[in-house]
Homo-oligomer: A and B are copies of this chain.
Amino acid sequence: MSKENISAREGDTTDSVIATPPEKALRADAQKNRDKLLDVAHRVFRTEGISVSMDEIARRAGVGVGTVYRHFPTKEDLFGAVIVSHKARLIEEANQLLDHDDPGDAFFYYFARIIREGIANKAITDAIVSSLNINTGRSEVARNFWRGIDNLLARAQHSGSVRADARIEDIKVLLIGILQATGESGNFPDRVVSILIDGLRG
């Protein structure tokens, strides 16, 4: 598997999916704060894990805690929002990969892609990991995220590149597992990914 034979969209960060806030439109300054908070939360959750205090997040975002709570009534909500924004980006990428010539390459590339993203950004790992819990998908985005992979998987299986018995749940487990296990190191685990992909081949 190589991502070279794929029209890679490395820096593609069109947040079109995130842009839609839950409720009504926010005032400009409120939206700015919300973005700032998500941005800070991303960085902070990535480096420190979910254990950072809300005060710390508020401090780094340069706002009061009250403001954090205005936007995210619960710490879990903030964390969830971080998850969502990351997933949105990846969902888009999955959709584009559906058009790729080689279904096997597309799937394996995406599989490795997610791991790569997660390694480089603990927030994504957290996002994916926690999306297991919200399993059936409390959020639309979480559902879409896994559906994106599922589509690539189905196509790859249909083409015979991926073993027929693999299910999306298994992919979930593999991804979540490897992401959590390598989360701290920061290095892409080539051999391990290679093992997983070989195990997945049809």
Known: A199-B199, A199-B200. A181 touches B192 (CB 8 A): no
The reply to whether A189 and B176 form a contact with Cβ atoms under 8 Å apart is no
CA distance A71 to B187 in the complex (A): 38
Interface size on A, residues (CB 8 A): 29
Contact of A132 among B173, B177, B184 (CB under 8 A): B184
Q: How far is the CB of A135 from the nearest CB of chain B, in Å? A: 9
Known: A180-B180, A181-B132. A174 touches B195 (CB 8 A): yes
The reply to whether A181 and B191 form a contact with Cβ atoms under 8 Å apart is no
If over half of A's interface residues share one DSSP class (helix, strand or loop), that class is named, otherwise mixed; here it is helix
Interface-lining segment among A2-10, A30-38, A136-144, A162-170: A162-170
Copies of this protein, total: 4
CA distance A182 to B197 in the complex (A): 19
| CB-nearest residue of chain B to A197 | B199
A56 contacts chain B at the CB level, 8 A cutoff: no
The reply to whether B200 and A173 form a contact with Cβ atoms under 8 Å apart is no
Which residues of B lie under 8 Å from residue A178 when comparing CB positions?
A: 173-174, 177
A196 contacts chain B at the CB level, 8 A cutoff: yes
Q: How far is the CB of A122 from the nearest CB of chain B, in Å? A: 14
| CB-nearest residue of chain B to A189 | B173
The reply to whether B177 and A195 form a contact with Cβ atoms under 8 Å apart is no
CA distance A85 to B191 in the complex (A): 31
CA distance A190 to B197 in the complex (A): 17
Q: How far is the CB of A136 from the nearest CB of chain B, in Å? A: 14
Q: List 7 A-B contacts (CB under 8 A).
A: A132-B181, A133-B184, A170-B189, A170-B192, A173-B189, A177-B177, A197-B199
